[in-house]
Structure 1
Amino acid sequence: MIINNGFIMDPAACRSYTSDIRIRDGIIEQISTHIEPEPSEQVIDAAGLTVAPGLVDTHVHFRDPGFTHKETIHTGALAAARGGFTSVICMANTSPTVDNVSVLTDILARAGKEDIRIYQAACVSRSLKGQEPVDMEELKSYGACGFTDDGIPIRDAAFLYSAMEKAKELNVPISLHEEDPSFIKNNGINHGNVSDELGIYGSPSIAEESLVARDCLLALRSGADVVIQHISSGRSVNLVRMFKAQGASLHAEATPHHFTLTEDAVLKYGSLAKMNPPLRTEEDRLAVIQGLVDGTIDIIATDHAPHSKEEKARPLTAAPSGITGLETSLALGITSLVRPGHLTLMQLLEKMTVNPAKLYHLPAGKIKEGEAADFVLFDPEECWTPDEYASMSCNTPFTGWKLYGKVKMTICRGKIVYTEG
C-alpha cells in the first residue's frame, strides 16, 4: 500500500511535511516524495488530507464481559476505528472484574481478533473493593498494560501507596478515579448553581480535589507513573502542576466533554450530560484548557462510557453516569481547542498519540520507517454533524453539533479498518 501525497503530521518528531508513505507487512517501509507504485500496490490518494499516527485512547469502557447490552469488544473496536483510533486501553470494571488471569486472557484473546489494537488494564484491588491487592506481577506477565480501579476511588492511602510502589517496580502506570464518595450525595452532577436550580445536592469539586492532593503526594513519594483520570476541577489541575514541578511522575487525562462543556449542559441535555466526575463551571473548564496548554495535562482520553437508551431515559438522579466519545473526540479537540487557538493541531495530536503511547509503552505514535503502519487520515477543516454511530450506544450530548475535523480513513497494521462512506 502507498499513501500518496498526504500532509504528514508527526508529533513524535514535531515535524509536518508532504510526502508519500509505503507500507509493507504492517510496517512503514519508506517515506519519500514521489514513490513509484508497484503493480500490486494499492494507492491511497491523500491529497488535501492530514496523515497522523493512529490515535491512542488510554481510557475506554467496552463493557465486555458483563454489560454487552451497552457495548461489546467488537462494536467498541468499530467505534474506535471510525474515530481514528488504532490503539485503545480498556478499563477493568467489567463483570467479572479484571482481577485475575482468567478474565484478562479471555478479553485479550477476543480483542486480538479485532482490527485495531485493544489493550487491557487490570484492577488494582480484588473486585474493586480497595482492600485486597491483585497479583500485579502475574497480571502484567499475562498482558495487563497498567492498573486501575476506574469507576471506584481507592480510599485506603496506605494500600494505594503500596500499589504505586509495585507499579513503579513493574514500570507500568497506575491510573486513579478521584472522587471521594463521602462528599457526594448525587453523583454525576456538579454541586453548584445548576444542582441548586434542580433542587438536588450533587458532587462538589472537593470530592475530586481532596483525593488528587493526597495522590499527588503519594506519587511524589513513590516515584510511580500515576495518572489522574478525567480531571475536571481547576484546583485539581493546579495540584498536578505543583507536584509535577516538585518531580512527581504525574500524568493527567482531560476528556473532550470536560474541555468543551460546563454544568449548564445538564439543564439542556439532562442525563446525556451526566458523568463522573461531573461537568463543572466555566472557570474549571478554562483551567482544564490551560492545563492542556502548559503541559500539566498531557493526555486527552475519551472515557468512552456507553449506556443503553433505556438506562439514560431514567430520571436524572437515577440514570447512570457516562457518555460515549470515541467517534467525536478528534473533532471536539479541533473544534474546542485548535480552532479557538488554545492548541496547535500538532499539540493536540501529541496528546492523542505519542504521549499516551510513551506512557503505556505501546508500539504507536510515530511516523518513521520501521515503525507500525497505524494512521488516521482526516480533513481538519471539514464541517460535519454526528448523527449516527458505530457504537451500540449513542448517549452523547454532541449529536447534531456542528464539528470540524472529519476522519476519512483509519489504517491499523497496514490494513484499512475504516473508510468514510
Structure 2
Amino acid sequence: MSIKESVYMEKLRDELDQQSVPEDQLYSSVMKGYMRAKAERKIRVKQSRKVSVVLIAAVALLLVLLSLSDQTLRPVQLLQKVPGLEWVWKNDSLQGMELNISESSAYQRVDKSQTVDGMTFTIDGIIVDQTTIALDYHLALPSDSVGLGGDTFLFTVDDKFVVTEQSWGNFQENGNGKKVDDTYVAIVRDPIDMDAKELNVSYSVTLNAKNYAFTLPIEIEKVADVTKYATKKTSFELDGQSFSVKRVVVHPGITSIEIEEDKNNTYKVLRFLDLRLEDSNGHQSLPVKNGIISTDAENGNKVYYVQSNILNESEELSLKLNRVEALPKDKAFITIDTEKKTLQNPMEDGMLSLGKVTPTEIEVIYYMDSVSSNLLGNVEDANGKAIPTSYSESSDGREMIKLDTSNYENPLRISLISYPNEMEKAIRIPLKLE
C-alpha cells in the first residue's frame, strides 16, 4: 500500500466511522470477501504458472543472445537489461547471487589446510584491506557427519584480536553433504595494521555435538584498496520524504551505502527492498543474498550493503531505488503490555494480533500471504530502556521474540523492521563523486 493509498484509507475509515452496521452482518460480509479472495488467488496462481513456462523459454533465449553481446555480465545482470522483465528482480527467489570474491583483482590464493579428528578446514583464498576481511573456505567432513553448525571465526594480527562489527557467510552443504563451501566477510571496527604481514585465522565449528577448532596463519601478499565514492552529500526526495546519501565505500566483495533520513520526515523507512548501484556502463550491483543487508551507523543513519561486482573504476555512479517499505513514524512500532497481555496500538489494517504472551515471551500473529523478513525489531520498556532479546523465530504466520529479562516497566515498545506498506515512487539518483 502506497502513502497516497494510506491517506485515502484513513479518510475512508473516518467516513465509515459515521455509519453503523450490525455485527453479525459485518462478520458475514468479511468472511464472504475472504473466501472469494482466497479462491481468486488460487486461480491467479494457476494462470501465472502457465504464463511462467512461456516466459522461462523466452528468457532463456534472450539470455543466450545477450550473453553473445556482453560476455562480462552474469545471468541476473542480463535479466536487468531485458525490457519488460523488471518483475524478475522483485521475485525473492531470484534476488542476489552468492558472493564471488575470487573475481576481484585483490584476491590472493591461499590453499592452506588443517585436519582435526577427520575434519579438514581449507582456506582457498582471501582479500584483506584496512576495513574488511573476506575469505573463501571449505570443510571436508567425516563420514558420520550429523548436526553441523555453530561456526565462529576469530582473527588476530600480532597477537591482537581484530574486532569485527558485522560479518556474514553462506555456510551451505555441497554435493553429498560431506563438504561445505562458504564465503565469509567481516567488516572490522578499527583499521587493521597493514604493516603486519601475517593474519591468523581461527575457526571453530560443532559437529556431532563435538567442537572442532582450527588455526591457520596466512601471509598477506596483497592489500586491497578501499574505494570511497560520494563523500559529498547527495540529497533526494522519495514520495514527499527527504533523504541524503552520505557516502559509498567499496569493500572487497561488499559495498556499503550510508543513507540519512531527514528528521522532519513523517514516515520512517523500514527497508529498501530494491536498492542498487549503477555504473557508467549501465551495469548494476547485485544485492546481498547470503548475509546482512543493513546495519545501524553510530550517528543513527542506516548503512545498506550490495555486492561489489561492478564497482571497480567508474566515472559515474547512480543509486536506484525501486521498492521502499515505510510507515508513519507514529505507527512504526507496536506497544504491548505483557502483564495485561494486550496490544495497545493495533494496526488499522488488522494484519497483526497477539498470540502467547508471558513476561519473557511475546508471540505476534500476522495475516499476510508471505513475509520475507522478520517483522519485529528492537525492544524498549516504558522508560526507554533497551531490553535484550536472545532469539526471534518466524514461521507459519507467527513470530516469537524472547526477552532475556522480566525486569522492565510495562508497556513494551517493539519497533517494526518490515511491513507490507510501500512508497509508490521509483527514482534514480546521480551521486556526487570525489
Tell me the TM-score range normalised by the shorter chain: under 0.3
Q: Which has the higher contact order (CA 8 A, sep 6+)?
A: 1
Provide TM-score, normalisation by structure 1.
0.26
Question: In terms of Rg, which structure is larger?
Answer: 2
Q: Which has the higher strand share?
A: 2
Provide TM-score, normalisation by structure 2.
0.25
